[in-house]
Structure 1
């Protein structure tokens, strides 16, 4: 039988000859990818140009290519580009393994939002409870060539004979590879055919290519030997009989192993289950029972989403992605262990390696090096890391499913129609020309994302990933204009998307809170947020003198597009997005901002009936709705106490709990005090001060992000503003001075007298409401995405409570 390499070369030669004769052939001309067999940058460019012509698409993103084509020989053919997958760090997870020990993070390459966060939560829970213990139980790669004989007698004789050839075949294999070691031969007779299962150890390589070459050499040797044994007349053989289970689920591989066989275990106590995973022991055992019976019904393996962790690490570290299918056949076990659980995971067919294949690509090799998985013995370490994280992810996902955190079907964005999403490509000259009344627009450049996206935008971007959401600086070139017009484009999410994002965030604190939010999430103030600010800019007199200039509005409900085109505040506006810099707010800045907002408060002070005519503003929150939500507020602060015990000590938490418990008394009282129009998000993230040109010590307030504007006490804006611009050690008399300054400014703007004691009482009630309804949610955001200023804000609120 001829060497397969020579057969391949002959075939390639014939292809080339045939290609040269295509013009003269009677066969139809065949289309071919250009420069086949050439893997260099000029050849890549020619292929890219060819496929552009074929597809009619610009394919601009494929121009950039950062890899060295010379290093990709053996990894790819017909090279045209690469795909970038985001990689996040999960964990770290505390390991107690043979090879994996100590704290180890894991690179997860994925486009699935929340996967890294879920794996990290599971790793945190397992680590808090003592960590994960891991062991590699064995490692082997399998090949199973098929030998066909004249009859079943000859096949039976061969099956007996081949089982005695391990030593001679080992000699043949050693001539092909010094890493592969034959550890077993298992003949499987099927009629007059025999599959011979070759079992190899392959060291730190996955070994699939290595064992193929070794098995081919073995087959040639067997063919030569059988030529001397007419009683075992061989008709033919095939390098793979498909009984090895390569890249597919296999009961044989499950029982006997293929690739690496790895196991992981952990104990998670009841306190950690409740504090981190928001479930009880009985919750988890019930979830596991569901997992087992559901898997049995489907004919699958009892695990939740082992393949998710495996695919993410595989993609990051250059493993064979096709092996995710077989590698993901994990077996999860769970038992009660005191007030907690014992859990273990077996991965019987984990096909991985740390040498060869994609592991040698630059980034993949760096990720392997990052977790200590290069060098001798590193494949076993990688196997233990994968097993540990797969177990942690399964526990996190299982707790999310049973705790109500995984999904809430009734609040999904159930769009049953196709939506042509508004994207960055729509920010083009045609659109801007229709918005602006300033000549022909010749160019529009989105110059980046602002660092000051609102908390709402940041959360909803995780829900509305397909469309443009957020705040974007844009340079607009107008024909005849000397300089580009500098704008801010604000693309708003739907209020339903905001509500869903908030719901997902709240449910991380437990299923009980998920149900509470479902019953009364409308009391959060998020309803109508996508329309409210647009309407305000259509009626700028409502907040006269405080708004940035608005160049135009785009409202297209069919495309779910709600956009504002605002001036980009320049150097004459100071203290923009200064939430992390309270030291920059001097007394004259604070009084300047309070004077500005007092004009709004004074204009609408006590005129709630007129505000009610602004139907876009929405109805004021009813006291009963807030009171009904007390279970949510209490549950959130129980969660925050566990997450931030130093921030919420017993005395401060007791004050907050008292506010929540007594809300049925003080919320109706607050609703009976004089109300006005408030910004309701009035802090140093959303305001700036415009320096008056001829009076540098005077400042005019500029306030933006009005989507939460509502009817409330004027002190509501005062409380939030002071919590951001002051520090926890601010003198109480200084705070009282600002409270009094605001009262006087509102009274002057309204032209009415305002009782000082009533104002002070309103300040206390507004503070309680701000802490209960807003700080509770901000701290939940802080759990998911660090808000560097929020812990200071919470401490300032505590200081304000002493006034």
Structure 2
């Protein structure tokens, strides 16, 4: 007999082996009656044998309950799925939930293909940092160079059954027989699929076996399942109709000669799935502006990759096609297991006689489809629809899009490696060590600023005793700061901190390290080059006379003034740090002020909000009204172009208008083009008139991105003064109205705000302000704002689309239209 302890411990197998047969039987039945309760409980909740093949929601919950009990994990995230169990019968078995993968959008990329023609954005399902950004950079370089050409050159899906015979002679007899009955075999295939078309039946004799390759065209389906069914049916017909003397000894449906889901030289050389080629010629301007590399340097790096690829014995040559394939396959419902063979590719690069770079990529084995499989899942179907890849020829269209984006990624990655930016970009994006808005991961030199800053009375003279990152939603953003390259030791950006004094009190602040003039110039040149070389050429002549020159020095001088008319309407300044190379501002972190970050929060400014902002900025306007010379003496970095310089900018504005109208005809329509060109042609004369009107210090970036209202009294709070300049006060009025009104604004609505601003200025000055002259100044300022600021936003929107910009442009055109009959 087994002891009770040994029964409960489960150590009964060894005991049984030491007993006689009769005693063993007796012990077995004792064990069966005395099994631990836990095993009975397990049997009670055991899944049914066919649990994999049940697709109801109840069955899914049973599987989850079973797993929770036996693994000890709740699986709450996996279980929280939007997918419906009943609709997944063709996709998987044993359904319990789904895993969410982040999807980024890469592009825009201009493609001129046989089936894909237009500008495309690629959905990328990936968790690898820097991948989407790199692909987008390559797409920008291609688009700036005129786009990519793509074309499908073939499609073939294979299934290769193996027939084993007694001898090689029987093999050859079978090959001849199969050739004679090709028509009948095709007819059998046609009975079992409307889409699969048998194009070839190619035998290959290996020893005493025939590997009979069935080669199909599968329309818009990837075709693995389709060809499996058709080939099996055809083989059944062959086996039934072969002469008895030719009956094979063995038969198997697939011999692995088709290389299904495997990389092989055969797939590379002969093609499998869809064969597609994408090509582009990168201009020298695009190489230098977008890829930050010379054409010859890019091609030289390519030759180095060829050397390494040959030495490694690689099949084909590419930089990282697999990244693009895997991410797009996941987002678009393709068979991810096929990403291995689909990544087979051949990259080509060479210099042209003109000094440009010809690039092409050939994908010989792209296994894709736009019907069946995962393409029916709701998220993946939505991504396919976004690309226009549903319906007839959807598969060919998708192939051309994928090939073009693979080319974009390879171009960008190779450029990053050649210019030694590859690791740096992964540090910045993949490991989140670059610009940020939370204060996390900031380098020690930035902390150093707090200990050597010059503090204002608002903080006190002593440095903080404790410095910690602060929570922040990034609501005091700056386009120039965010997009400009970092060319300094300290990180460029806007960062949030919580500072504590030695008395225990604390303050939440933002630290603003603005870019140098050279970094802003590089940004502007990059935006211009992303449009056309001609725009870049004009821009380089214009930049020294723009408000973008010496912007950070100007802001430092302005925000450190102590005039109450100014300080009442800006965030509290706590301190500054300057060392000759850096200009760092430490000021109040705004969190809960009304209308803060209204664009991203979708808040609409009401008339009372607009007038509150105008009332506040009028105090600043009144302080320096009619004192342009004193302003230039006080703030030496203010840049005021003269009439001749304004006239020299006209070709730039005309070129931007022409490019925008051609590229975005729905946004920059014919009516807007007319308004714009009219403003450009008369800009010099208008500037002469502006210079004759009373001018003052204006914010010159007075948009809802840079202003809010104080919670307690609705007083204006305005930041980011780096673009401040000398202008008519209506310049700030014109910009604010384009952000707060809509394209359906009425004349009465506009005039109420124009009049309110005028009356507020008159009240501040204590003297009348002429109404007709004031309105004339508003009309002139509106036109000048469009040319000199919206031109920058048009370039920015093309290279880096800004969702807030199109409504502003349309409102500007509406406001200009409302002034036409009185201008």
TM-score higher than 0.5: yes
**Separation in structure 2 between the aligned mates of residue 661 and residue 309 of structure 1, nearest angstrom:** 53
Deviation of 1:510 after TM superposition, in Å, equals: 0.4
**Contact persistence 2:707–2:717 (CA under 8 A):** yes
2:634 paired residue number:
611
Deviation of 1:318 after TM superposition, in Å, equals: 0.6
Structure 1 residues 578 and 362: CA distance shift in structure 2, 3 A: closer
Deviation of 1:584 after TM superposition, in Å, equals: 1.8
Structure 1 residues 357 and 307: CA distance shift in structure 2, 3 A: same
**Contact persistence 1:767–1:797 (CA under 8 A):** yes
1:508 paired residue number:
530
**Residue deviations 1:270-316 (CA, integer Å, cap 9, x gap):** xxxx9xx9xxxxxxxx99xx99x999999999999999997776443
Deviation of 1:383 after TM superposition, in Å, equals: 1.6
**Contact persistence 2:277–2:403 (CA under 8 A):** no
1:681 paired residue number:
701
**Separation in structure 2 between the aligned mates of residue 528 and residue 390 of structure 1, nearest angstrom:** 43
Task: Choose 348-357 or 210-219, whichever is displaced more.
Answer: 210-219
Equivalent runs, 1:349-428 vs 2, <5 Å: 349-367=365-383, 378=391, 380-386=392-398, 389=401, 420-421=433-434, 423=436, 426=439
RMSD over aligned Cα, in angstroms? Answer: 7.8
Equivalent runs, 1:233-382 vs 2, <5 Å: 239-241=254-256, 244=258, 246=260, 258-260=272-274, 314-321=329-336, 323=338, 349-367=365-383, 378=391, 380-382=392-394
Deviation of 1:779 after TM superposition, in Å, equals: 3.6
**Residue deviations 1:254-276 (CA, integer Å, cap 9, x gap):** 786533568999xxxxxxxx9xx
Deviation of 1:747 after TM superposition, in Å, equals: 6.0
TM-score, normalised with respect to structure 2: 0.56
Deviation of 1:639 after TM superposition, in Å, equals: 2.9
TM-score, normalised with respect to structure 1: 0.57
1:16 paired residue number:
none
1:596 aligns with 2:619: yes
**Contact persistence 2:624–2:696 (CA under 8 A):** yes
- Give the one of 561, 565, 568 matched to 1:546: 568
**Residue deviations 1:76-132 (CA, integer Å, cap 9, x gap):** 9998962434366999999999xx8999998734662597899899999999xxxx9
Deviation of 1:42 after TM superposition, in Å, equals: 8.8
2:732 paired residue number:
720
2:812 paired residue number:
793
**Residue deviations 1:416-474 (CA, integer Å, cap 9, x gap):** 9878346566579xx9x999999999x99968676x966557867999xxx99789999
Structure 1 residues 159 and 187: CA distance shift in structure 2, 3 A: farther
Deviation of 1:777 after TM superposition, in Å, equals: 1.4
**Contact persistence 1:159–1:187 (CA under 8 A):** no
**Separation in structure 2 between the aligned mates of residue 580 and residue 123 of structure 1, nearest angstrom:** 35
Gaps of 5+ in 1: 1-19, 25-34, 266-273, 278-285, 333-343, 613-617, 694-698
2:654 paired residue number:
637
How many residue pairs get aligned? The number is: 685
**Residue deviations 1:573-630 (CA, integer Å, cap 9, x gap):** 9999999978726996586245322244359864447635xxxxx7233749x97797
**Separation in structure 1 between the aligned mates of residue 75 and residue 558 of structure 2, nearest angstrom:** 41
Secondary structure of 2:670's match? Answer: coil
Structure 1 residues 80 and 645: CA distance shift in structure 2, 3 A: closer
**Residue deviations 1:121-177 (CA, integer Å, cap 9, x gap):** 9999999xxxx999x98754113467899xxx9557525524534769959997997
**Contact persistence 1:473–1:487 (CA under 8 A):** yes
Deviation of 1:742 after TM superposition, in Å, equals: 7.7
**Separation in structure 1 between the aligned mates of residue 239 and residue 683 of structure 2, nearest angstrom:** 86
Deviation of 1:788 after TM superposition, in Å, equals: 0.9
1:199 aligns with 2:218: no
1:653 aligns with 2:677: yes
- Give the one of 161, 167, 174 matched to 1:161: 174
**Separation in structure 2 between the aligned mates of residue 721 and residue 407 of structure 1, nearest angstrom:** 48
Structure 1 residues 365 and 610: CA distance shift in structure 2, 3 A: closer
Structure 1 residues 124 and 679: CA distance shift in structure 2, 3 A: closer
Gaps of 5+ in 2: 1-9, 15-46, 53-58, 126-130, 287-294, 349-359, 442-446, 661-667, 739-744
Secondary structure of 1:141's match? Answer: strand
Equivalent runs, 1:15-30 vs 2, <5 Å: none
**Residue deviations 1:542-566 (CA, integer Å, cap 9, x gap):** 8644335448679899999987543
**Contact persistence 2:144–2:529 (CA under 8 A):** no
**Residue deviations 1:347-378 (CA, integer Å, cap 9, x gap):** 8754323454323433224555778877xxx5
**Contact persistence 1:327–1:350 (CA under 8 A):** yes
**Residue deviations 1:511-550 (CA, integer Å, cap 9, x gap):** 2223444566465444666787688666665864433544
1:187 paired residue number:
203
**Contact persistence 1:470–1:492 (CA under 8 A):** yes
**Contact persistence 1:262–1:387 (CA under 8 A):** yes
Deviation of 1:776 after TM superposition, in Å, equals: 1.8
**Separation in structure 2 between the aligned mates of residue 768 and residue 409 of structure 1, nearest angstrom:** 42
